[in-house]
Amino acid sequence: QVQLMESGGGSVQAGGSLRLSCVASGITYGRYCMLWYRQGPGKGPEGIASLDSGDDSTTYAISVKGRFVISRDNAKNTLWLQMDSLEPEDTAMYYCAVEDWVTSSNYCHYDDAYDHRGQGTQVTVSS
């Protein structure tokens, strides 16, 4: 059973930084896409970053490119999202998710649909 547990959210002022983590377990895919999603108040879900487990390649949504960095620590089964230069528009619930690389058409993209998702961690950015 796939389990994803996010942490690291909180409240920060605009211009500040946060680092989210996601501890994963039970993933049995041979190769997979790790994803970060967010959903702001009154908004639909927005995919923002992806990482391919096979080659560590990454993709980013325009809204976060240059400010956020997705990375992982295999030894700790942990996915990270470093968020810098935060803006009030970044206020949202943040989720990590995983998708089978095969069903992703062999390419990980930040806007992919996911197979499993965590419970989320709240990020609030004040102006």
CA distances to 13, 53, 105, 107 from 31, in Å: 37, 6, 12, 11
pLDDT of residue 103: 83
pLDDT of residue 104: 82
Residue 105 has pLDDT above 90, yes or no: no
Residue-wise pLDDT tens digits, 43-90 = 999 999 999 999 999 999 999 999 999 999 988 899 999 999 999 999
What would the mean pLDDT of 99-107 be, rounded to a whole number? 87
Q: Burial letters for 79-107: b for 16+ Cβ neighbours within 10 Å, e otherwise?
A: bbbebeebeeebbbbbbbbbbbbeebeee
